[in-house]
Structure 1
Amino acid sequence: MGEKLFGQTLPTEAVCGDAIIDMGQDKSVLILIQHCRDMKQQETRLRLITLLLLLSCTALFIFTICANLWQRENSGSSRKECAVEPSPAYSKQERFCPTANPQTNTQKLHIDLTSLGANTTDAQYVKWHDNFGDQDNKEKSAIVIPEDGFYFVYVRIALSCNEGDFNRLYLELHNWNENYPLNRPVMKALDGCTSEGEKSVFVGQLFELSKGDNLSVWIGEGYELISTSSFGAYLT
């Protein structure tokens, strides 16, 4: 009887051991399956996010192209509208389309001045009379620059040389601005009488000037030799 019980216990232990092993294998398989499911879910999320980003970029690109086309069409239609807008006065066209052509709104400097007369006193500025153009400061006898740019500035002087008046003429072109109110010589010329008769002196130079610059002609010597003179500038 004891041998039967002992004999029956062996198969029971064997069965329990196999069951433990089988349960451990099933648990590993379940973990592996769950891991695979998690990986698939993450992959699905990544694909969805990538798709959304791609759609967003595509929509932004299409919106940018449409906005540029719309802006070009509007600018083209506004220029056409300005071109065909009937108006008897140029002021109305300018008021209707103030930015259609900015260059036409710019007043370019072109001024020419003539000296008021000879003077016997040296070391002073020449006073001028307008021939054409109105960009000058009569109080300070200066040409006022209306806008930044490159300007050709010239001074033409006619000398009346009498016998024995073999003196020299010395002049300077001065420039001042509110940013640097001190008069600065930017051009100098030295000439004079070498013989009796009339003589012409011309000096000119290209300058890069700023808005608000004031140009004036200062005579250091030989003011009494000047019969007539002119002073001008124009924007190149």
Structure 2
Amino acid sequence: MGQKLRGHTQPAEAACRGSMIDIGRDESVLILIKHCQDMKQQETRLRLITLLLLLTCMAMLIYTTSAGLRQHEESGSHGQGSAVEQGAAHPRQERLCPEDNQTPVRIHLRPPSPTNKTKMSDGQYLEWDVDFGERNYDEETHAIVIPAPGIYFVYLRITLSCHGEKTPNFELFTLQLYCLNEGYPKRRLLTDAMDGLECTQDRSKSVFVGQLFELVEGDYLKVLMKKGYKLMKTASFGAYLV
């Protein structure tokens, strides 16, 4: 009897062990499934957080860009307004302020009137009367005085005429423009001009000399009539700072 009982108990124990193994496997599967679900949920949360961060960054970037553009437009409009105001105020200042050293250097000379004209001949410096720019002309030396260093355009125009005289010879005309300075007593030739007329009939022509020169303060510009003074009808001499 005892042997039979032992024979019957062995299958029962084996069945219990199998069921316990099956139960353990099911729990492992359930745990794994739950773990996968948790991982997916975490991944979804991370994606949502990343998306929110990207949207926030984009919004901040758009706001910063639009604010910068708005500020630039406002500063540009203010700058234009101030420039217009300065441009409008500048002429008023020029009208109200007296002539000073910042006034552009311009001088224009013409031959002296007959009452002021002295007897001249070839080989002398030409005398002048001032049309404008009197402060830049020295009557004693008959010269244009350069008040400040810079690039100046110096011009000289002479009209030649036979004055009704008829001669078979060709009358030569020559003049020279010189520069002198108290620091450099030796005169310096800047330019010259040569022309002439054949006075077989009443004729006239113009001679023009114009050139840019770099001059310094205290330079004196003078015109020397080398030959042909009797041919000169009218003349003009001037300079201005470029």
TM-score normalized by the length of structure 2: 0.59
SS in 2 for 1:29: helix
C-alpha RMSD over aligned residues: 5.0
1:18 pairs with 2:17: no
Go from structure 1 to structure 2 and tell me whether the alpha carbon gap of 1:36 and 1:167 turns closer, same or farther (over 3 Å shift). same
**1:106-117 matched pairs, under 5 angstroms:** 107=104, 109=106, 111-114=108-111
Count how many residue pairs are aligned between Structure 1 and Structure 2: 213
What residue identity is the alignment partner of 2:194?
L
SS in 1 for 2:111: strand
Q: Deviations over 1:124-167 (max 9, x none)?
A: 7x343333222645358247598879886523456788979855
**1:1-236 matched pairs, under 5 angstroms:** 1-70=9-78, 94=96, 107=104, 109=106, 111-114=108-111, 118-121=120-123, 126-133=125-132, 134=134, 136=136, 138=138, 141-142=143-144, 144=146, 153-156=156-159, 167-173=171-177, 183-185=189-191, 189-192=193-196, 194-195=198-199, 200-204=204-208, 216-219=222-225, 221-222=226-227, 225=230, 230-233=235-238
SS in 2 for 1:41: helix
Larger radius of gyration: 2
Q: Deviations over 1:5-64 (max 9, x none)?
A: 111111111221222222222222212211111111111111112112222223333333
Go from structure 1 to structure 2 and tell me whether the alpha carbon gap of 1:155 and 1:29 turns closer, same or farther (over 3 Å shift). farther
Asked if the contact 2:172/2:228 (under 8 Å) is kept, the reply is no
TM-score normalized by the length of structure 1: 0.60
What residue identity is the alignment partner of 2:108?
I
Identity score, percent = 10
Distance 1:198 1:29 in 2: 119
Moved more, 130-139 or 193-202: 193-202
Unpaired runs of 5+ in structure 2?
A: 1-8, 113-117, 181-186
Distance 1:132 1:145 in 2: 18
